[in-house]
Amino acid sequence: MLKNILIIGGTSGLGLELAKIYDALGHTVFITGRKDPNIHNLHFFKLSIDQNNQNLVTQIDELIRNIDKINTLIYVAGYYQEGKIDQLNDKEILEMINTGLTAPAILIQRLKNNPGKPLKVMFVTSSSQYTPRELEPIYTAVKSGLGMLGASLSLDQSIGKVLVVAPSGMKTPFWNDSHNTSGYLNPTWVAEQIVELSSGPFKYRYAKILRDPERVEIVETKQ
């Protein structure tokens, strides 16, 4: 069955790789981000998330008004943030929380009963979901929160399948120049694993995508 798929953070990196795969499979794919990658068949909508909650809600409502129905929401948006809690300013903290948790929560609230229901949800977190790090206090918090949001949503019988995937570092523009990404995962390969993990009958699935060596570890599946 062909579906309407909305990928938040689908204009680069892993999100774009997922968009290309689903487009090749014949699905209608909508992507959001700050800049249009201008790829044939991918329907772009600008979504710029910052510390302003009201602006975020306004953008999300405008986005949903422009898309008739969504069968699958894939949330991949994110960026790296480093710094001890007292080294981060208010703007940096609020922007990370909005990107990693507020935006997906508002989107699910709006889309849960849209014409494309039951809504299938796919959240991409990271290894920071389960690995505490001194220099990533807010980043690890929102990744953990996003994972728990997915697990909790899976208990809602009016929501369709929920997949939470936590990949290790990938070779994408996500990282700044100070990071050596030579041993990181190939985002195309990661996207292929996510598509495979999302298939088949289940209500909830949580998986880690690891490196050294590259492998997929399914932590939990509920029918």
User: What is the CATH classification number for the domain harbouring 117?
Assistant: 3.40.50.720
Range of the structural domain that residue 216 is part of: 4-222
pLDDT at 170: 86
> pLDDT tens digit string along 106-124?
999 999 999 999 999 999 9
Q: Can you list the alpha helix ranges (DSSP code H) found in 25-128? A: 53-65, 90-97, 103-111
Domain count, the chain: 1
What value does the CA radius of gyration of the chain take, rounded to a whole number of Å? 16
Tokens 């990744």 identify what position? 143
Structure tokens at 190: 């990661």
The DSSP element (H or E) to which 120 belongs, if any, is: strand 120-124
The interaxial angle of helices 137-153 and 103-111, nearest 10 deg, is 20
Full-model pTM: 0.96
pLDDT at 147: 98
pLDDT at 30: 98
Asked whether the beta carbons of 42 and 23 are under 8 A apart, the reply is yes
Q: Which residues of the chain have pLDDT under 70?
A: 174-178
Q: Which of 35, 113, 106 is nearest to 75 (CA)?
A: 106
Our separate counts of H helices and E strands in the chain read: 6, 8
pLDDT at 183: 79
Structure tokens at 72: 């699958």
pLDDT at 120: 98
pLDDT at 13: 93
Q: CA triplet 138, 139, 142: central angle to 5 degrees?
A: 80
